[in-house]
Structure 1
Amino acid sequence: MKFLLDTADVEDIKRICAMVPVDGVTTNPGIVAASGKSVFDLLPAIRDAMGGKGMLLAQVISPTVEGMIKDAHTLTSRVENLIVKVPVTPNGLVAIKELTKEGIPTLGTSIYGAAQGFMAALAGAKYLSPYVSRIDAQGGNGPETVKELQSLISQHKPDVEIVNASFKSPRQALECMMIGSAGITLPPSIFDLFIADPAVLAAVTEFGNQWFKAFNRHTLD
Protein backbone atom coordinates (compact mmCIF):
# COMPACT_ATOMS: atom_id res chain seq x y z
CA MET A 1 0.00 0.00 0.00
CA LYS A 2 1.25 3.46 -0.90
CA PHE A 3 1.29 5.92 2.00
CA LEU A 4 1.03 9.59 1.05
CA LEU A 5 0.70 12.78 3.06
CA ASP A 6 -1.94 15.40 2.30
CA THR A 7 -0.18 18.62 3.24
CA ALA A 8 1.99 21.51 2.14
CA ASP A 9 3.80 21.79 5.48
CA VAL A 10 7.43 21.03 4.66
CA GLU A 11 8.41 20.57 8.31
CA ASP A 12 5.63 18.04 8.88
CA ILE A 13 6.76 16.15 5.78
CA LYS A 14 10.34 16.00 7.04
CA ARG A 15 9.20 14.94 10.51
CA ILE A 16 7.03 12.09 9.27
CA CYS A 17 9.54 10.95 6.62
CA ALA A 18 12.00 10.46 9.48
CA MET A 19 9.57 7.99 11.09
CA VAL A 20 8.07 6.00 8.21
CA PRO A 21 8.55 5.64 4.45
CA VAL A 22 6.40 8.23 2.65
CA ASP A 23 5.53 7.39 -0.95
CA GLY A 24 4.37 10.85 -1.91
CA VAL A 25 2.63 14.10 -1.06
CA THR A 26 -0.68 15.38 -2.35
CA THR A 27 -1.71 19.01 -2.41
CA ASN A 28 -4.89 20.81 -3.40
CA PRO A 29 -5.75 24.47 -4.03
CA GLY A 30 -6.94 24.97 -0.45
CA ILE A 31 -3.76 23.54 1.04
CA VAL A 32 -1.55 25.64 -1.23
CA ALA A 33 -3.58 28.80 -0.58
CA ALA A 34 -3.33 28.27 3.18
CA SER A 35 0.46 28.05 2.91
CA GLY A 36 0.62 31.54 1.42
CA LYS A 37 3.35 30.42 -0.99
CA SER A 38 3.53 30.12 -4.74
CA VAL A 39 2.77 26.59 -5.87
CA PHE A 40 5.93 26.68 -8.01
CA ASP A 41 8.06 27.43 -4.94
CA LEU A 42 6.16 25.02 -2.75
CA LEU A 43 6.24 21.89 -4.91
CA PRO A 44 10.06 21.74 -5.27
CA ALA A 45 10.39 22.34 -1.52
CA ILE A 46 8.02 19.45 -0.85
CA ARG A 47 10.00 17.18 -3.15
CA ASP A 48 13.21 18.14 -1.37
CA ALA A 49 11.56 17.34 1.98
CA MET A 50 10.88 13.82 0.63
CA GLY A 51 14.54 13.41 -0.24
CA GLY A 52 14.07 14.22 -3.92
CA LYS A 53 11.88 11.20 -4.66
CA GLY A 54 8.29 10.07 -4.33
CA MET A 55 4.97 10.94 -5.93
CA LEU A 56 4.07 14.62 -6.07
CA LEU A 57 0.56 15.77 -6.93
CA ALA A 58 -0.94 19.19 -7.63
CA GLN A 59 -4.39 20.21 -8.82
CA VAL A 60 -5.67 22.29 -11.70
CA ILE A 61 -7.65 25.42 -10.85
CA SER A 62 -9.70 26.28 -13.93
CA PRO A 63 -13.26 24.91 -14.25
CA THR A 64 -13.15 24.79 -18.07
CA VAL A 65 -11.73 22.03 -20.24
CA GLU A 66 -9.32 24.38 -21.97
CA GLY A 67 -8.28 25.93 -18.67
CA MET A 68 -7.70 22.58 -16.98
CA ILE A 69 -5.51 21.42 -19.85
CA LYS A 70 -3.60 24.70 -19.79
CA ASP A 71 -3.12 24.44 -16.01
CA ALA A 72 -1.85 20.88 -16.42
CA HIS A 73 0.62 21.96 -19.09
CA THR A 74 1.84 24.81 -16.88
CA LEU A 75 2.30 22.55 -13.87
CA THR A 76 4.08 19.75 -15.71
CA SER A 77 6.31 22.13 -17.66
CA ARG A 78 7.61 23.71 -14.46
CA VAL A 79 7.66 20.71 -12.09
CA GLU A 80 9.12 17.41 -13.29
CA ASN A 81 7.42 14.05 -12.72
CA LEU A 82 4.22 15.64 -11.47
CA ILE A 83 0.86 13.88 -11.31
CA VAL A 84 -1.97 16.28 -12.11
CA LYS A 85 -5.14 16.17 -10.04
CA VAL A 86 -8.32 16.87 -12.00
CA PRO A 87 -11.81 17.08 -10.43
CA VAL A 88 -14.15 14.44 -11.83
CA THR A 89 -16.70 16.79 -13.37
CA PRO A 90 -18.01 16.57 -16.96
CA ASN A 91 -15.28 19.02 -18.01
CA GLY A 92 -12.77 17.18 -15.86
CA LEU A 93 -13.47 13.91 -17.64
CA VAL A 94 -12.81 15.55 -21.01
CA ALA A 95 -9.57 17.02 -19.67
CA ILE A 96 -8.47 13.69 -18.18
CA LYS A 97 -9.08 11.96 -21.50
CA GLU A 98 -7.08 14.56 -23.42
CA LEU A 99 -4.22 14.68 -20.92
CA THR A 100 -4.01 10.88 -20.98
CA LYS A 101 -3.61 11.01 -24.77
CA GLU A 102 -0.74 13.44 -24.22
CA GLY A 103 0.93 11.10 -21.74
CA ILE A 104 0.33 13.31 -18.71
CA PRO A 105 -0.59 11.16 -15.67
CA THR A 106 -3.72 12.25 -13.81
CA LEU A 107 -5.54 11.60 -10.58
CA GLY A 108 -9.31 11.94 -10.59
CA THR A 109 -10.24 13.87 -7.47
CA SER A 110 -13.41 15.10 -5.72
CA ILE A 111 -14.96 11.64 -6.06
CA TYR A 112 -18.19 11.14 -4.12
CA GLY A 113 -19.53 8.00 -5.76
CA ALA A 114 -18.26 4.69 -7.14
CA ALA A 115 -19.77 5.22 -10.60
CA GLN A 116 -18.28 8.71 -10.79
CA GLY A 117 -14.86 7.34 -9.93
CA PHE A 118 -15.17 4.54 -12.45
CA MET A 119 -15.94 7.07 -15.21
CA ALA A 120 -12.65 8.79 -14.39
CA ALA A 121 -10.86 5.45 -14.75
CA LEU A 122 -12.49 4.91 -18.13
CA ALA A 123 -11.42 8.41 -19.19
CA GLY A 124 -7.82 7.47 -18.44
CA ALA A 125 -7.07 8.58 -14.89
CA LYS A 126 -4.24 6.51 -13.42
CA TYR A 127 -5.26 7.30 -9.84
CA LEU A 128 -8.61 7.93 -8.11
CA SER A 129 -9.26 9.70 -4.80
CA PRO A 130 -12.63 9.18 -3.12
CA TYR A 131 -13.39 11.85 -0.48
CA VAL A 132 -14.22 9.53 2.39
CA SER A 133 -15.19 11.91 5.21
CA ARG A 134 -17.02 14.26 2.85
CA ILE A 135 -19.11 11.34 1.61
CA ASP A 136 -19.99 10.58 5.24
CA ALA A 137 -20.81 14.24 5.86
CA GLN A 138 -23.37 14.13 3.06
CA GLY A 139 -25.12 11.17 4.68
CA GLY A 140 -23.33 8.50 2.68
CA ASN A 141 -20.94 5.78 3.73
CA GLY A 142 -17.37 6.60 2.73
CA PRO A 143 -15.77 3.19 3.31
CA GLU A 144 -18.66 1.45 1.56
CA THR A 145 -18.22 3.74 -1.45
CA VAL A 146 -14.54 2.84 -1.48
CA LYS A 147 -15.44 -0.89 -1.43
CA GLU A 148 -17.80 -0.42 -4.39
CA LEU A 149 -15.22 1.53 -6.36
CA GLN A 150 -12.48 -0.98 -5.53
CA SER A 151 -14.70 -3.80 -6.79
CA LEU A 152 -15.29 -2.00 -10.10
CA ILE A 153 -11.60 -1.23 -10.53
CA SER A 154 -10.45 -4.73 -9.61
CA GLN A 155 -12.82 -6.26 -12.15
CA HIS A 156 -12.52 -3.85 -15.05
CA LYS A 157 -9.51 -1.50 -14.69
CA PRO A 158 -6.93 -3.28 -12.53
CA ASP A 159 -4.15 -0.95 -13.70
CA VAL A 160 -5.86 2.01 -11.97
CA GLU A 161 -4.95 2.77 -8.34
CA ILE A 162 -7.31 4.09 -5.67
CA VAL A 163 -5.65 6.54 -3.29
CA ASN A 164 -8.25 7.25 -0.61
CA ALA A 165 -8.42 10.79 0.75
CA SER A 166 -10.32 13.14 3.07
CA PHE A 167 -10.24 11.69 6.58
CA LYS A 168 -11.42 13.10 9.90
CA SER A 169 -10.50 10.19 12.17
CA PRO A 170 -7.95 7.37 12.37
CA ARG A 171 -10.74 4.78 12.41
CA GLN A 172 -12.14 6.08 9.14
CA ALA A 173 -8.70 5.82 7.57
CA LEU A 174 -8.08 2.35 9.02
CA GLU A 175 -11.32 1.01 7.56
CA CYS A 176 -10.23 2.14 4.09
CA MET A 177 -6.73 0.73 4.56
CA MET A 178 -8.24 -2.70 5.29
CA ILE A 179 -10.29 -2.65 2.08
CA GLY A 180 -7.14 -3.22 0.04
CA SER A 181 -6.89 -0.08 -2.06
CA ALA A 182 -3.54 0.80 -3.57
CA GLY A 183 -2.94 3.81 -1.38
CA ILE A 184 -4.06 6.30 1.21
CA THR A 185 -3.26 9.98 1.73
CA LEU A 186 -3.42 11.35 5.27
CA PRO A 187 -3.09 14.82 6.76
CA PRO A 188 -0.34 14.93 9.38
CA SER A 189 -2.93 15.44 12.12
CA ILE A 190 -4.53 12.05 11.40
CA PHE A 191 -1.15 10.35 11.08
CA ASP A 192 -0.22 11.70 14.51
CA LEU A 193 -3.40 10.29 16.03
CA PHE A 194 -2.41 6.79 14.90
CA ILE A 195 0.47 6.89 17.37
CA ALA A 196 -0.92 9.25 20.02
CA ASP A 197 -2.64 6.79 22.36
CA PRO A 198 -2.01 8.02 25.95
CA ALA A 199 -1.69 4.41 27.08
CA VAL A 200 1.51 4.06 25.05
CA LEU A 201 3.22 6.98 26.79
CA ALA A 202 2.00 5.74 30.17
CA ALA A 203 3.48 2.28 29.58
CA VAL A 204 6.81 3.65 28.36
CA THR A 205 7.00 6.05 31.32
CA GLU A 206 6.19 3.28 33.79
CA PHE A 207 8.94 1.00 32.48
CA GLY A 208 11.40 3.89 32.42
CA ASN A 209 10.65 4.77 36.03
CA GLN A 210 11.09 1.15 37.12
CA TRP A 211 14.46 1.00 35.38
CA PHE A 212 15.60 4.29 36.91
CA LYS A 213 14.55 3.16 40.39
CA ALA A 214 16.60 -0.01 40.04
CA PHE A 215 19.69 1.38 38.28
CA ASN A 216 19.56 5.17 38.78
CA ARG A 217 19.94 5.88 35.09
CA HIS A 218 17.86 6.14 31.90
CA THR A 219 20.39 4.28 29.71
CA LEU A 220 21.51 0.66 29.42
CA ASP A 221 25.01 1.45 30.67
Structure 2
Amino acid sequence: MGEQPMKLYLDSADIPAVAPLLHTGLFEGVTTNPLILQRAGVAPAHLPTLVQELIDAGAGSVFVQAVESDTDEIVAEGRRIVALGSNVIVKVPATRQGFAATARLAHDGVPVLVTAVYHVRQAILANSAGAWGIAPYVGRMDDAGRDGLRQVEQMGAVLHGSETRVLAASIRNADVVHELALQHCDAVTMSTAVAEALFIDHLTDRAVAEFTEAARALT
Protein backbone atom coordinates (compact mmCIF):
# COMPACT_ATOMS: atom_id res chain seq x y z
CA MET A 1 0.00 0.00 0.00
CA GLY A 2 1.22 3.46 -0.87
CA GLU A 3 2.21 6.57 1.05
CA GLN A 4 -0.36 8.82 -0.62
CA PRO A 5 -3.47 9.89 1.34
CA MET A 6 -6.17 7.22 1.30
CA LYS A 7 -8.72 7.88 -1.44
CA LEU A 8 -12.41 7.75 -0.59
CA TYR A 9 -15.11 6.28 -2.83
CA LEU A 10 -18.87 5.88 -2.49
CA ASP A 11 -20.46 2.45 -2.89
CA SER A 12 -23.91 3.35 -4.21
CA ALA A 13 -26.03 4.00 -7.30
CA ASP A 14 -28.50 6.26 -5.47
CA ILE A 15 -27.98 9.61 -7.22
CA PRO A 16 -29.85 11.76 -4.64
CA ALA A 17 -27.72 10.26 -1.83
CA VAL A 18 -24.43 10.26 -3.75
CA ALA A 19 -24.54 13.70 -5.38
CA PRO A 20 -24.32 15.83 -2.20
CA LEU A 21 -21.31 13.82 -1.02
CA LEU A 22 -19.57 14.10 -4.39
CA HIS A 23 -20.20 17.85 -4.33
CA THR A 24 -18.01 18.13 -1.21
CA GLY A 25 -15.01 17.34 -3.39
CA LEU A 26 -13.81 14.75 -0.87
CA PHE A 27 -14.74 11.57 -2.73
CA GLU A 28 -12.88 10.28 -5.78
CA GLY A 29 -15.66 8.37 -7.42
CA VAL A 30 -18.37 5.73 -7.17
CA THR A 31 -18.28 1.93 -7.10
CA THR A 32 -21.25 -0.21 -8.09
CA ASN A 33 -22.11 -3.88 -8.36
CA PRO A 34 -25.21 -5.81 -9.47
CA LEU A 35 -26.72 -5.79 -5.94
CA ILE A 36 -26.27 -2.02 -5.66
CA LEU A 37 -27.82 -1.50 -9.09
CA GLN A 38 -30.75 -3.74 -8.16
CA ARG A 39 -31.38 -1.80 -4.94
CA ALA A 40 -31.33 1.47 -6.87
CA GLY A 41 -33.68 0.08 -9.53
CA VAL A 42 -31.13 0.55 -12.32
CA ALA A 43 -31.79 -1.81 -15.24
CA PRO A 44 -28.88 -2.79 -17.53
CA ALA A 45 -30.33 -0.63 -20.30
CA HIS A 46 -30.08 2.42 -18.02
CA LEU A 47 -26.45 1.84 -17.04
CA PRO A 48 -25.00 4.35 -19.55
CA THR A 49 -27.34 7.03 -18.18
CA LEU A 50 -26.33 6.23 -14.60
CA VAL A 51 -22.63 6.44 -15.43
CA GLN A 52 -23.10 9.84 -17.07
CA GLU A 53 -25.21 11.11 -14.14
CA LEU A 54 -22.51 10.05 -11.67
CA ILE A 55 -19.78 11.73 -13.72
CA ASP A 56 -21.90 14.89 -14.03
CA ALA A 57 -22.35 14.82 -10.24
CA GLY A 58 -18.58 14.88 -9.77
CA ALA A 59 -17.40 11.26 -9.83
CA GLY A 60 -13.85 11.15 -11.13
CA SER A 61 -14.29 7.46 -11.85
CA VAL A 62 -17.15 4.98 -11.92
CA PHE A 63 -16.72 1.24 -11.35
CA VAL A 64 -19.08 -1.15 -13.16
CA GLN A 65 -19.03 -4.92 -12.61
CA ALA A 66 -19.06 -7.62 -15.26
CA VAL A 67 -21.68 -10.30 -14.59
CA GLU A 68 -20.68 -13.01 -17.08
CA SER A 69 -18.96 -16.16 -15.82
CA ASP A 70 -17.06 -17.46 -18.88
CA THR A 71 -13.64 -15.92 -19.52
CA ASP A 72 -14.34 -14.91 -23.12
CA GLU A 73 -17.70 -13.45 -22.14
CA ILE A 74 -16.18 -11.51 -19.22
CA VAL A 75 -13.59 -10.04 -21.59
CA ALA A 76 -16.25 -9.03 -24.11
CA GLU A 77 -18.42 -7.53 -21.38
CA GLY A 78 -15.44 -5.71 -19.89
CA ARG A 79 -14.75 -4.07 -23.23
CA ARG A 80 -18.38 -2.96 -23.47
CA ILE A 81 -18.22 -1.55 -19.95
CA VAL A 82 -15.03 0.43 -20.46
CA ALA A 83 -16.53 1.85 -23.65
CA LEU A 84 -19.10 3.66 -21.49
CA GLY A 85 -16.52 6.36 -20.83
CA SER A 86 -12.91 7.22 -20.13
CA ASN A 87 -13.77 7.45 -16.41
CA VAL A 88 -15.04 3.85 -16.18
CA ILE A 89 -13.17 1.00 -14.49
CA VAL A 90 -14.27 -2.61 -14.93
CA LYS A 91 -14.93 -4.80 -11.90
CA VAL A 92 -14.35 -8.55 -12.24
CA PRO A 93 -14.93 -11.15 -9.50
CA ALA A 94 -11.92 -13.05 -8.11
CA THR A 95 -12.68 -16.36 -9.82
CA ARG A 96 -10.40 -18.50 -12.00
CA GLN A 97 -12.21 -17.20 -15.08
CA GLY A 98 -12.17 -13.68 -13.68
CA PHE A 99 -8.40 -13.66 -13.19
CA ALA A 100 -7.86 -15.00 -16.71
CA ALA A 101 -10.16 -12.30 -18.10
CA THR A 102 -8.38 -9.66 -16.03
CA ALA A 103 -5.04 -10.64 -17.54
CA ARG A 104 -6.41 -10.28 -21.06
CA LEU A 105 -8.16 -7.00 -20.37
CA ALA A 106 -5.14 -5.56 -18.58
CA HIS A 107 -2.93 -6.57 -21.50
CA ASP A 108 -5.17 -4.42 -23.71
CA GLY A 109 -4.90 -1.48 -21.32
CA VAL A 110 -8.32 -1.91 -19.68
CA PRO A 111 -8.27 -1.01 -15.95
CA VAL A 112 -9.74 -3.84 -13.87
CA LEU A 113 -10.65 -3.93 -10.19
CA VAL A 114 -10.75 -7.54 -9.00
CA THR A 115 -13.64 -7.69 -6.57
CA ALA A 116 -15.02 -10.07 -3.93
CA VAL A 117 -11.49 -10.67 -2.62
CA TYR A 118 -11.33 -12.68 0.60
CA HIS A 119 -7.75 -13.95 0.86
CA VAL A 120 -4.18 -12.78 0.36
CA ARG A 121 -3.56 -15.39 -2.33
CA GLN A 122 -6.22 -13.68 -4.45
CA ALA A 123 -4.25 -10.44 -4.16
CA ILE A 124 -1.21 -12.28 -5.49
CA LEU A 125 -3.20 -13.59 -8.47
CA ALA A 126 -4.66 -10.14 -9.18
CA ASN A 127 -1.20 -8.61 -9.20
CA SER A 128 0.04 -11.32 -11.56
CA ALA A 129 -2.90 -10.54 -13.86
CA GLY A 130 -1.97 -6.86 -13.94
CA ALA A 131 -5.12 -5.67 -12.18
CA TRP A 132 -5.64 -1.97 -11.51
CA GLY A 133 -6.65 -2.96 -8.00
CA ILE A 134 -8.39 -5.38 -5.66
CA ALA A 135 -11.49 -4.92 -3.53
CA PRO A 136 -11.23 -6.98 -0.33
CA TYR A 137 -14.54 -7.34 1.53
CA VAL A 138 -13.62 -6.35 5.08
CA GLY A 139 -16.98 -6.80 6.77
CA ARG A 140 -17.80 -10.02 5.00
CA MET A 141 -14.42 -11.47 5.94
CA ASP A 142 -15.20 -10.68 9.57
CA ASP A 143 -18.59 -12.39 9.17
CA ALA A 144 -16.82 -15.51 7.86
CA GLY A 145 -14.49 -15.64 10.88
CA ARG A 146 -11.51 -14.05 9.15
CA ASP A 147 -9.93 -10.89 10.51
CA GLY A 148 -10.80 -8.46 7.70
CA LEU A 149 -8.42 -5.70 8.75
CA ARG A 150 -5.57 -8.17 9.20
CA GLN A 151 -6.23 -9.68 5.78
CA VAL A 152 -6.18 -6.22 4.17
CA GLU A 153 -2.93 -5.42 5.96
CA GLN A 154 -1.35 -8.60 4.57
CA MET A 155 -2.69 -7.86 1.08
CA GLY A 156 -1.09 -4.43 1.25
CA ALA A 157 2.19 -6.02 2.27
CA VAL A 158 2.30 -8.45 -0.66
CA LEU A 159 1.28 -5.71 -3.12
CA HIS A 160 3.72 -3.13 -1.76
CA GLY A 161 5.75 -1.63 -4.59
CA SER A 162 3.40 -2.95 -7.26
CA GLU A 163 0.89 -1.01 -9.35
CA THR A 164 -2.06 -3.00 -7.99
CA ARG A 165 -4.02 -0.92 -5.47
CA VAL A 166 -6.05 -2.03 -2.46
CA LEU A 167 -9.56 -0.54 -2.49
CA ALA A 168 -11.21 -1.91 0.65
CA ALA A 169 -14.95 -2.58 0.49
CA SER A 170 -17.74 -3.98 2.68
CA ILE A 171 -17.21 -1.28 5.29
CA ARG A 172 -19.69 -1.52 8.15
CA ASN A 173 -18.90 1.65 10.11
CA ALA A 174 -16.81 4.81 10.12
CA ASP A 175 -14.29 3.41 12.63
CA VAL A 176 -13.17 0.84 10.05
CA VAL A 177 -12.31 3.70 7.69
CA HIS A 178 -9.79 5.23 10.08
CA GLU A 179 -8.36 1.81 10.93
CA LEU A 180 -7.70 1.27 7.23
CA ALA A 181 -6.13 4.73 6.98
CA LEU A 182 -3.76 3.81 9.81
CA GLN A 183 -2.70 0.81 7.69
CA HIS A 184 -2.00 3.19 4.78
CA CYS A 185 -4.62 1.44 2.68
CA ASP A 186 -4.73 2.94 -0.81
CA ALA A 187 -8.49 3.49 -0.95
CA VAL A 188 -11.80 2.59 0.62
CA THR A 189 -15.34 2.52 -0.73
CA MET A 190 -18.32 2.89 1.58
CA SER A 191 -22.07 3.29 1.64
CA THR A 192 -23.46 6.79 1.77
CA ALA A 193 -24.56 6.11 5.36
CA VAL A 194 -20.99 5.36 6.45
CA ALA A 195 -19.75 8.37 4.46
CA GLU A 196 -22.21 10.65 6.24
CA ALA A 197 -21.06 9.24 9.59
CA LEU A 198 -17.51 10.41 8.87
CA PHE A 199 -18.69 14.00 9.27
CA ILE A 200 -20.28 13.48 12.68
CA ASP A 201 -18.57 14.24 15.98
CA HIS A 202 -20.65 15.50 18.88
CA LEU A 203 -17.69 17.26 20.50
CA THR A 204 -17.17 19.26 17.32
CA ASP A 205 -20.88 20.06 17.19
CA ARG A 206 -20.75 21.29 20.78
CA ALA A 207 -17.71 23.47 20.10
CA VAL A 208 -19.35 24.98 17.01
CA ALA A 209 -22.47 25.77 19.05
CA GLU A 210 -20.30 27.53 21.63
CA PHE A 211 -18.54 29.52 18.90
CA THR A 212 -21.89 30.55 17.43
CA GLU A 213 -23.22 31.61 20.82
CA ALA A 214 -20.07 33.65 21.53
CA ALA A 215 -20.23 35.34 18.13
CA ARG A 216 -23.85 36.34 18.70
CA ALA A 217 -22.98 37.75 22.10
CA LEU A 218 -20.42 40.06 20.46
CA THR A 219 -22.98 41.69 18.16
* TM-score between the two structures when normalised by the length of structure 1: 0.88
Q: 1:219 maps to what in 2?
A: none
Q: 2:3 maps to what in 1?
A: none
Q: 1:8 maps to what in 2?
A: 13
Question: Residue 27 in 1 paired to residue 32 in 2?
Answer: yes
Q: Relative to structure 2, which stretch is displaced further, 139-148 or 175-184? A: 175-184
C-alpha contact 1:106 1:126 (8 A) present in aligned 2: yes
Aligned AA (1:54): G
Q: 1:130 maps to what in 2?
A: 136
Q: 2:186 maps to what in 1?
A: 182
Aligned AA (2:162): P
Q: How many residues align?
A: 211
Q: 1:106 maps to what in 2?
A: 112
* Offset of residue 160 of structure 1: 1.4
Question: Residue 59 in 1 paired to residue 65 in 2?
Answer: yes
Residue of structure 2 aligned with 1:71, choices 74, 77, 83: 77
Structure number with higher relative contact order (C-alpha < 8 Å, ≥ 6 residues apart)? 2
Aligned AA (1:47): I
* Offset of residue 12 of structure 1: 2.8
Aligned AA (2:29): G
Q: 1:172 maps to what in 2?
A: 176
Per-residue CA deviations over 1:179-207 (Å, capped at 9, x if unaligned) read 11221112211111112223332332233
Name the % identity. 27
Aligned mates of 2:27, 2:199 — CA distance in 1: 16
Q: 1:191 maps to what in 2?
A: 195
Aligned mates of 2:14, 2:189 — CA distance in 1: 14
* Offset of residue 14 of structure 1: 2.4
Aligned mates of 2:89, 2:68 — CA distance in 1: 17
Residue of structure 1 aligned with 2:47, choices 33, 39, 63: 39
* Offset of residue 21 of structure 1: 2.6
Residue of structure 2 aligned with 1:17, choices 14, 17, 22: 22
Aligned mates of 1:86, 1:176 — CA distance in 2: 23
* Offset of residue 19 of structure 1: 2.5
Aligned mates of 1:144, 1:86 — CA distance in 2: 23
Local SS of the residue matching 1:79: coil
Local SS of the residue matching 2:83: helix
Return 5+ residue gaps in structure 1 as ranges: 217-221
Q: Relative to structure 2, which stretch is displaced further, 68-77 or 201-210? A: 201-210
* TM-score between the two structures when normalised by the length of structure 2: 0.89
Per-residue CA deviations over 1:5-47 (Å, capped at 9, x if unaligned) read 1111223332113324322211111111111122121111111
The structure that has the greater radius of gyration is 1
Q: 1:160 maps to what in 2?
A: 164
* Offset of residue 126 of structure 1: 1.3
Q: 1:85 maps to what in 2?
A: 91
